[in-house]
Amino acid sequence: MHPAEVLDQIATLLERSLAPAYKVQAFRRAADTIRDRPVEQLEQLAKAGRLLSLSGVGTSTSRVIAEVLEGKTPKYLTNLEAEAAPDAGAGGEIRTALRGDLHSHSDWSDGGATIQQMATAARDLGHDYLALTDHSPSLKIARGLTAERLRKQLDVVAGLNQELAPFRILTGAEVDILEDGSLDQEDDLLAELDLVVASVHSKLRMPEQPMTDRMVAAMANPHADVLGHCTGRMVRGRGRPESTFDPDLVFGACAHFDKAVEINCRPERLDPPMRLLEQVVSWKCKVSIDSDAHAMGQLEWQPYGCARAAEAGVPVERIVNTWKADDLLDWTAAHGKAA
């Protein structure tokens, strides 16, 4: 195996473990540096103790390269592989049933990988499709896409879909639900997309009634398909409390307008909390189990959401990303016809 493949593997495992971005980037950068170099040339550099002379290769990555060249399994890789992989537990059958992931980000906004890299990683996990849902304009800190940039992205996706077929990248966006409940993108452009995830990213602490009105208005919008990470909570690090809203009104609106509530699988989100997910089930809402991946390794987080779906008793037939792509797109298109 070429050392670049091992460096890539380590980077992916670091992404899965939610390691700091600089660590991931160090291994990706080193892999890119040596990817096209013959093994014989790398062996000569290693024997001369000159691996560190390569731009983008540091102490840890040079050690990994040297160990691979010696025919060893790098200790760095062994340690990462020893960490527990995401486990669906009782949700194993649900994970097996998933055909895709409806919430992902690329380096067009705040993701760490190209569109093609994300799509290839999703395909390699056994998915049939991946919705590309980069951020919308108002989220400037995440390099949200203007209408012009999103239109350019659609052209890129069209080309990649020809290359990757039968795997399919679904065109999409994660659009901000603005304070008045409107969606943060041009209506005619939203109408062109395969799928729209609508999420609250600002004024998360607004009072319960205005937040409820805001979310209900978004779900009533014919361009919205999925309600993303509904409470906005963070359960790791410094944490962030849940936004407050009337769940009966919000989930009732999702059921009435036939929209899906996302089970967000990011380890620091795990949103919605179980008590709210049980209400989602009682309202007979459709559900989407999504990684919200910002890197290739993070696409492996879906088992966390599958476990929660199983615990809450979500029927598999209500999980929209267990459906074939054509059936999924018929469902999202029906929302647009209500415009």
Q: pLDDT, tens digit, for every residue of 124-159?
A: 999 999 999 999 999 999 999 999 999 999 999 999
Q: Check which CATH number belongs to the domain holding 14 and give it.
A: 1.10.150.110
Whether 171 and 34 map to the same domain: the answer is: no
49: exposed, middle or buried (Cβ count in 10 Å: 0-12, 13-18, 19+): exposed
Same domain, 167 and 251: yes
Residue 109: CATH number of its domain? 3.20.20.140
Query: How confident is the model at residue 84, as a pLDDT?
Result: 85
Domain count, the chain: 2
Q: Are residues 246 and 328 in the same domain?
A: yes
Q: Which of 57, 81, 105 is the last residue of a domain?
A: 81
Range of the domain at 66: 3-81
121 and 55 in a common domain: no
Query: Of 54, 81, 108, which residue is a domain's last?
Result: 81
Question: Do 256 and 147 fall within a single domain?
Answer: yes
Q: Choose among 306, 328, 338, 317: nearest CA to 128.
A: 328
Rounded CA separation 153/172 (Å)? 10
262 and 141 in a common domain: yes
Same domain, residue pair 22 and 43: yes
DSSP of 242-277: PP---HHHHHHHHHHTTPEEEEE--TTT-BS-HHHH
- Give CA–CA dist 168/119, Å, rounded: 8
Tokens 């690090």 correspond to: 237
Based on the fold, state whether residues 75 and 93 are members of the same structural domain.
no
pLDDT in tens, 190-207: 999 999 999 999 999 999
Over residues 296-307, the pLDDT tens digits come to 999 999 999 999
Cα–Cα distance for residue pair 93/59, rounded to 1 Å? 42
Quote the pTM value. Answer: 0.94
* pLDDT at residue 338 greater than cutoff 80: no
Of 24, 48, 81, the position where a domain reaches its end is 81
Give the pLDDT mean for 101-118: 97
